[in-house]
Structure 1
Amino acid sequence: MASSNNTPRIVELAAQISASVNKFETLLSDQGLPSPTFDEDSPPSFPDDMYSLRAQILDATAELNEVLTEPLMLIFKFAAISNLISLDTVCRLGILDMVPAGGKLSFAEVAGKTGLSHAEVRRVLRHAMAMRVLQEPEPEMVAHTKVSKFMSLPHIQAWAQFEGKDTWPACAKVADALEKWPASGDIKETGFALANNGKSVFEVLHADPERAMRFGSGMKSLDHVPGCGDMLVSKAYDWASLGNSHIVHVGGSRGVVAMDLAKHFEKTRFLVQDGPMMIKGAEVPEELQGRVDFMEHELFAPQTVQADVYYFRMAFRNWNDENAVKLLKAQVPALRRGAKLLIQDKCMTPPNTVPISEERIQRAIDMSLKTFFNSRDRYLDDWKALLAAADEKFVLHKVVQIEGSLLSMLEVHWDVSSVKA
C-alpha cells in the first residue's frame, strides 16, 4: 500500500501505530484492564468494543513488519510448516501439562519425563518459545506464557494434534488434488483423500473413533474464533424480533446453541434435529423442558416439521454446491408461506474490505474447507445462486454481519409471491 502523501510509508505507519496504541492503552485503563503482555496470567482476549482499534494496530504493525522483511524471509514466514513440529510435539508428549502453573521446570526434568534427549528438548522448546509458546525465564528452565497456558486447554491441544496428524499430511496433497481434479467438488477428490487412501473425511472419521474424537474436540477451537463461539449466537441476530416462534435447528448437534437461545429469548421454542448418534443422551435443563426438544433427522432427508424458522449454523460450508442445493430443497416439503431460513455461515468479503488480520483468517479457513471437504466459503453472489438453484421461492431478505464476527446471518424468506406467473 503506497502512502497518499510525501511522508514515507514506514514513518506514516509508525505514527499511526503510536497514536492507536496510546488510544488502546487509555481504553484499557478506563475499563480497569491490564496492559497486554505475554505473562502467563495476562488476559488472552479484549473487550468487543475495542475490536476495530485493535484491528487497526494489528494491520499497521503487520505491514510495517512485512515491508521491512526481505522477500525470501517473508516467504519463509508464511511457508513455515515446520512451526507445527514443536506445537504438535509439546502437546503430543504432554509437555504443556508438565509445566506447573505459575512455576517452572528444567529442561532436564522435561527430558526425564518424555524420554527425549536433552538436545531434543532444547531444540523443541526453544523453537516453540520463538513463537511465544512457553518461555525461558532463566537458562534451561521452561515456564508458561499466556499463549502456552491457553494452548494447555484440552480442546486446543486436541486441535494442535489434529493439525499435526491429520491436517498437515492433507495440506501437502492439496496441490496434487488440484492438478488431478482441477474443477472437482467431490469430497473424495481432495488433499485429505489423497493422504488417506482415497477415503473422504467422513469415511475416515466414521471408521476411526480416535481420529473422530480428536477432530470433534479440535472443532471446539472454533469457539475462540471471532464471532464463531456458540455463546455468541444470541448477539448475531435480532432473535427477539421473531416473537413467539417455533424454530427448528437443523443439524443442531446436542442443542447447546438452542438451549442458550431459549434462555435469552423466552418466547421461542426449539426443535433440535440431528442424527441419532449426535443427539443420544442430550439433556435439557428442567427450566427449558417443553421449549427445547430433540428429533432424529438426517441432514438431507425431507423436512417433515412445519415451523416458523429453520436455522442452520455452519451447516453448508462442508458441502459442495450440489449437496448444498439438496439441503435447501430438503426443507421445501414443510415450508409454508412466510417461513424463514436463518443461515449462519461465512459470506466472503471482497479483497481489501476488512482488516488484513481478519482477511488472513478467513482465507485460511477457506483453504481448510478445500483441503478436507472440497467445499468453500461462499461470496454473496454464490449464496444467491444456491438459493435460485434450489427454488425460486427462496428469497434472500437481508444479510446481518456484526463487527468482529467472521460469520454472517443470511435471512431467507419462503416467498410464494415471488413466483412468476
Structure 2
Amino acid sequence: MAESQLRALAAEITKLADSFATSLQEKGLPEASFSVDSPISHKGITAEMFMTRQTLSDKLTDMWYLVQGPSESIYNYVHNVIPDAACLNVLNHFNFWEAVPLEGSASYSEIAEHVSLPLDVVTRLVQHATTLRLFEEISSSQVKHTSRSAALAQQAGLQALVSSVLDITGAPMVSTLDSFMAPFDMAMSSALEKYSKGKPELTQDMSETAFALFHSTGPLGKKHTNSWEYLENDGEGDRRGWRQAKFVEFMKYLKDIFHLEGIVLDSYDWQAAGKSTVVDVGGSAGHDAILLARKYPDLKLIVQDMPMVKPVFEAELPDDVRDRVSFVEHDLYQPQPTQADIYIFKLILHDNSESECAKILKALTPGLRPGNRVIVIEYIGKVDEGESESESDAKKEPLPLSIRQMGTATDLRMMAIFNAKERPAEAYRSIFKAADERFDIVSLKADPLTFFAVIEAVWRG
C-alpha cells in the first residue's frame, strides 16, 4: 500500500513545529498565541528559525490543500478570499480595533455606537472576523480582542499597511481581474460610509449597494444597476451575456460540490406528487428539472429564468426529457404567468433582502390555488445550531470555524451585492407571512452540516 501523504505531511509538520518551539524556548522567546497578551511578532529569531517557520507554513498549506482535495480547496479559497479581505478592510476603515478595550470586552451595541454603523452590519462583520481569529465572541453579545485584532489596535503602522494594500492597491487588482468581485475591496467601505453610517439599519435599497456604487461611475467603461443586469448584458457582440453562461456553469458545479441533487430529491415526496406540474423559478439551465424528470416520469417541469439563459437551456436539454421539461422566460418580480401545483425556489431568496423576498413570493399569489405548494431550498451558512429538527450529537457541538466562515463569507457577499443577508431557516416563516397570510409553513428542516434548509409552504387560499 502506498504511503499516506497526509500521514507523511503530519509527521513533517510535527517535527518542524517541535523544532521551532524548541528553538524559541532555547532562546528564551515566547510563543505567539491568540491571547491579547501574546507577543505581536517573533522578534529575535535566527535565519535558521525563520526558514524552519516558513517551511512549516508551506507544509501546513499543503496539508490544507490535501485535506480538502483539489476541487474543494480551490472553491473554498475563492469563496473566502474576497470577503476575508473586505471584512478586514471595513473593520480597519471604521477602526473597530479601538471600539473594543484591550483588556475587557465590548458589546455589539457598544461597537456599533463607536463606529456609527447599524448594529446588524457590525454583528455580521465581527462574526466573520471571528472566523479569522480577529476578535472572539465570549457570549452572544460580547466580544473581546484576540492577539491579531489587538496587534492592529496597538500598531498604527499595521493599520496603515492594511489600508494601503487593500484600499489603494487592492481595488485596481480586483477590478482589473473581475468587476463582479470588485465591490468587496473597492466599494464596500465607501457604500457603508455613504448609505448606512449613522443609521439604525443597513439600507435595503438595491441602488445603494456596494455593487451599484462601484458600477455607478462605470470604472471599466460600463454601468450596471444590479448584478443580474451585469450578468445578462456584459460584453459586446457575440460576447454579450458571457458572464451569464459562466454563472450557469457555476450553478452546475455547486450541484456537485454541495451534493444538491440529493437535497433536491429529498426536499419533497415527489413520488406522491404524481402527475403534478412543477415550476422551477430561477431554475438556470434546468439541471434540477432534468434530474426530477428522469427520476419521476409523471412530473411535468417548467424552468423559468432570464432570456439569456434560454439558449443554454435548449442546448443542454437531453432528448429523453424534452417532452416534459420546458423553458419560460420570466422576471420573478412580475406576476407568475404559469399555473402549477408546486413552485421551487432554490438558492434564489438568499440573494434578496427580506422585503424583496416577500415581494417575490407575493408575485406568485394571483395564480395560486388552494393546496399549491412552494418549496424553498436555501443555503443557510449562518446557522442557529439549535434550530435543526435533528438532535444528533454532531449538531450539539460548536461548529468548526471553517464551517462558520463559509456562511459568514457568503453573508458579506450578500451585503456587498444585494444589501441582503444570510438568514437562519426560521426567518422564512416571517417572510412568507409578510408576503401573504394565506401561506402556511408545513415543514422546515435545517441541517448545518449540509449548509441547507428546506422550507415547504402550502397556499390555503
Q: TM-score, normalised by structure 1?
A: 0.59
The within-5 A match list for 1:386-401 is 386-401=431-446
1:222 equivalent to 2:254? Answer yes
Match for residue 150 of structure 1? 71
Match for residue 181 of structure 1? 195
Match for residue 22 of structure 2? none
Task: Give the C-alpha shift of residue 220 in structure 1.
Answer: 5.5
Q: 1:196 aligns with which of 215, 220, 227?
A: 215
SS in 2 for 1:263: helix
The within-5 A match list for 1:67-146 is 68-71=33-36, 129=58, 132=61
The within-5 A match list for 1:214-363 is 216=247, 222-223=254-255, 226-227=258-259, 229=260, 232-283=263-314, 284-347=317-380, 348-350=382-384, 355-356=399-400, 357-363=402-408
Match for residue 92 of structure 2? none
Asked if the contact 1:303–1:333 (Cα under 8 Å) also holds between the matched residues in 2, the reply is: yes
Asked if the contact 1:226–1:404 (Cα under 8 Å) also holds between the matched residues in 2, the reply is: no
Task: Give the C-alpha shift of residue 411 in structure 1.
Answer: 0.1
Match for residue 37 of structure 1? 6
The CA distance in 1 between the partners of 2:307 and 2:257, in whole Å, is 28
- Write the deviation string for residues 12-47 of structure 1: whole angstroms up to 9, x where unpaired: xxxxxxxxxxxxxxxxxxxx999673999xxxxxxx
Aligned residues with identical type, % of pairs: 25
Asked if the contact 1:187–1:373 (Cα under 8 Å) also holds between the matched residues in 2, the reply is: yes
Change (3 A) 1:187 1:222: farther
Q: 2:459 aligns with which of 401, 405, 414?
A: 414
Q: 1:208 aligns with which of 226, 230, 234?
A: 234
Asked if the contact 2:383–2:423 (Cα under 8 Å) also holds between the matched residues in 1, the reply is: no
The CA distance in 2 between the partners of 1:159 and 1:316, in whole Å, is 19
SS in 2 for 1:337: coil
Structure 2 residues not aligned, in runs of 5+: 10-31, 42-53, 84-173, 197-201, 218-224, 387-395
Task: Give the C-alpha shift of residue 208 in structure 1.
Answer: 2.7
The within-5 A match list for 1:36-75 is 37=6, 68-71=33-36
Task: Give the C-alpha shift of residue 413 in structure 1.
Answer: 0.5
Asked if the contact 1:273–1:295 (Cα under 8 Å) also holds between the matched residues in 2, the reply is: yes
The CA distance in 2 between the partners of 1:280 and 1:69, in whole Å, is 53
Task: Give the C-alpha shift of residue 234 in structure 1.
Answer: 2.0
Asked if the contact 1:247–1:310 (Cα under 8 Å) also holds between the matched residues in 2, the reply is: yes
The residue type paired with residue 37 of structure 1 is: L
Change (3 A) 1:128 1:275: farther
Task: Give the C-alpha shift of residue 180 in structure 1.
Answer: 2.4
Asked if the contact 2:342–2:375 (Cα under 8 Å) also holds between the matched residues in 1, the reply is: yes
Asked if the contact 1:311–1:341 (Cα under 8 Å) also holds between the matched residues in 2, the reply is: yes
The CA distance in 2 between the partners of 1:233 and 1:36, in whole Å, is 35
Change (3 A) 1:71 1:391: same
SS in 2 for 1:294: strand
The CA distance in 2 between the partners of 1:180 and 1:384, in whole Å, is 32
Task: Give the C-alpha shift of residue 319 in structure 1.
Answer: 1.7
Change (3 A) 1:362 1:334: same
The CA distance in 1 between the partners of 2:273 and 2:292, in whole Å, is 12
Match for residue 112 of structure 2? none
Q: TM-score, normalised by structure 2?
A: 0.54
* CA RMSD, 1 decimal: 4.2
Q: How many residues align structurally? A: 301
SS in 1 for 2:345: strand
The CA distance in 2 between the partners of 1:72 and 1:202, in whole Å, is 47
Change (3 A) 1:220 1:238: same
The CA distance in 2 between the partners of 1:238 and 1:218, in whole Å, is 28
Structure 1 residues not aligned, in runs of 5+: 1-31, 41-66, 77-124, 136-143, 417-421
The CA distance in 2 between the partners of 1:261 and 1:34, in whole Å, is 42
Task: Give the C-alpha shift of residue 405 in structure 1.
Answer: 1.5
Comparing 379-388 with 271-280, which one deviates more in the overlay? Answer: 379-388
Asked if the contact 1:258–1:270 (Cα under 8 Å) also holds between the matched residues in 2, the reply is: yes
Asked if the contact 1:249–1:273 (Cα under 8 Å) also holds between the matched residues in 2, the reply is: yes
The CA distance in 1 between the partners of 2:411 and 2:229, in whole Å, is 21
